[in-house]
Amino acid sequence: MSVSPVKRQKMESALDQLKHHTTVVADTGDFNVNNPKWPLSNVLRLAGCFKQAGFLSLAIDEYKPLDATTNPSLILAAAQMPAYQKLVDDAVAYGKKLGGSEEEQIKNASDKLFVLFGAEILKRIPGRVSTEVDARLSFDKEGMIQRARRLIDLYKEVGVGKDRILIKLSSTWEGIQAGRVLEAEYGIHCNMTLLFSFAQAVACAEAGVTLISPFVGRILDWYVANGDKKTYEPSEDPGEHRFNTAEKTTAAHSNWVKSVTKIYNYYKKFGYKTIVMGASFRNTGQIKALTGCDYLTISPKLLAELSKEHVKLTPTLSVKEAQACDLEKIHLDEKAFRWHHNEDQMAVEKLSDGIRKFAADAVKLERMLKERMFSTENGK
């Protein structure tokens, strides 16, 4: 339905309306928005552009997000930009100061770099920043706990308390159990990432983690890549389509916007406190279809589009409706979790793919730090 120019001027933007029902979090996707106030050369990530041309400050002033997220891919990209070499230099100096083996120095420098970026972001937002534990530890419960506590200690060294940090962990069984320990024994809040299946969501709720990030866009990506149908409406469930490929026929068990709705309803019906934060959106239709979700983390490009849209938004998710839904409470021990997650082909493949990609970027970052730390001292 079209809106007259006069009414459009009076009506709040879709973004402003969304904020009445949902906490908006700034995603760290590309911030290459076609806005003349932002230099086109700044093909940057939100969390990595806090100095260059006042870019991040401008973005936060305009969109007013509460929180921000980071990941290894972001840090890798930002660390190679001239504007942030002071942070890289400080991280390298820190790693060398602690000493130890070459591997230990690189690891310490990498952790420090993540924290330095996070601390700068926190100067510009009122809420929390998410900092990710090395994806190569995704199947090492104790390793993740140790690394998370180390990151919190590093934040403390720069004057940032753990109440402003969310530790991002992969939503493997080991990652979820690491989150349980960190929350219960150390008071460290966790953001469970790379979440694609209902089994992962149930296990996270039972572990009592602070927040989960179901990836709406990546779920859709999988169905588009593996199925005959290439476009879906925001409310349409790809899991309802049985499709053929050259190699196999798959009856999909998961979906995208509907998957977040189911998780939200389950949490609210049974009183779980874990925050549901929809993530990885591909268009504003998906975002608007989840109006009312606890949190939505939105890329700067889509934030800009929402700020220019003037359509009436009505909450599609609510506690009242969730409590009236017909979902039944379930319990998943390790064996049940692994079975139910394994039954979801999309979730298995996307979780593995996400871990591999984050791990690959972590390796690239370490190579960059290694060259910076040791090639220079050797006069190369």
- Phi first, then psi, for residue 250 (nearest 5°) are -125, 130
Q: Which two tokens stand for residue 287?
A: 């975002």
Helix axes 102-122, 72-79, angle to 10 degrees: 90
Structure tokens belonging to residue 182: 């960190």
Pairing mode, strands 23-26 and 190-195: unpaired
CA dist 278 and 111 (Å) reads: 27
Token digits of residue 348:
């298995």
Rounded CA-CA distance 170/173 in Å is 9
- Out of 141, 168, 268, 370, pick the active-site residue: 168
Query: CA 341 → CA 75, 103, 203, 305, 359, distances in Å?
Result: 30, 35, 10, 35, 21
Crossing angle of helices 102-122/141-157, nearest 10°?
Answer: 60
Known catalytic membership, residue 364: no
- DSSP letter string, 136-165: GGTT-HHHHHHHHHHHHHHHHHTT--GGGE
Catalytic residues: 168
